Amino acid sequence: MTMGEVPVGERRAIFITGGGSGIGRAIAILFAGRDWQVGLGDVDARGMAETAALLPGGAMTWVLDVCDRPAWARVLGDFVQKAGRLDVLVNNAGIATGGALASMSESDIDRVIAINFTGVVNGARAGHAFLKATPGSVLLNVASASAIWGSPGLSVYSATKFAVRGLTEALDGEWTADGIKVASLMPGFIDTPLLRVNVSGSNRTARDGVVAGGFEFTPVERVAEAAWDAVHGDRLHTPVGPTAKRLTFAARWLPGKLRRQMKARRR
């Protein structure tokens, strides 16, 4: 250890799923740049290695399928043993497979639910004891603007993000006695690899739909800054980007108009 370094166990520690790209990578870069220990979990080992190479001091990485409960326990246990603590767990891993419900394959439906919601539940359960043991800890779930109002053409995806929102609200009350803060991010459209997957039953990607709809993309760095603010603030849900903020306003004050707009867009 060199002069001025903080010993392992005293530096705050964050574990991020989906850390091989996109939002997970941006959060890792920001927190590492502010002297946090970073752990990454992803099915993409190459992507995690690329993320780690961007961080001062690198990162600890584990190949992790968020649907694998025993793997969650093993990976977080290993991370906490090495880092000495778990201040923040970011449930970020997810997929953006879309399409109308009637045209989605059963396997796509099951996969979206398993990764986007069951994986978040698995992470929360596995992380609870470690977060409880760290004063001032935070569980940060990455939901979506699709959790503000159901998104036609993304019905199953939207439903999983509403489920993440509900879980966040429930655990916010449930875990307060354990000293764990729970919060969510609700980003609008972020131009990450997640949007470049083909919509179920078509040759178009989710990104194509965003562009065709005239929506804007929010820089991924803005989501990382929102994550920092959520960890250090007291807000339960944080909409990120113009689309998410407009939806938040319309869902609260103009729900009838928003519903009509959603129907008109599908026609």
Taking every pair of C-alpha atoms in the chain, what is the biggest distance, in angstroms? 65
DSSP state of 136: T
Whose CA is closest to 139, among 172, 100, 107? 172
Q: Taking a C-beta distance cutoff of 8 angstroms, is the pair 82, 62 a contact?
A: no
Q: How far apart are CA 49 and CA 195, in angstroms?
A: 22
Q: Give the DSSP H or E segment for 8.
A: none
Provide the 3-class DSSP secondary structure of residue 34: coil
Q: Which residues are known catalytic residues?
A: 157
Burial 201-229 (b: 16+ CB within 10 A, else e): eeeebbbebbeeeebebbebeebbebbee
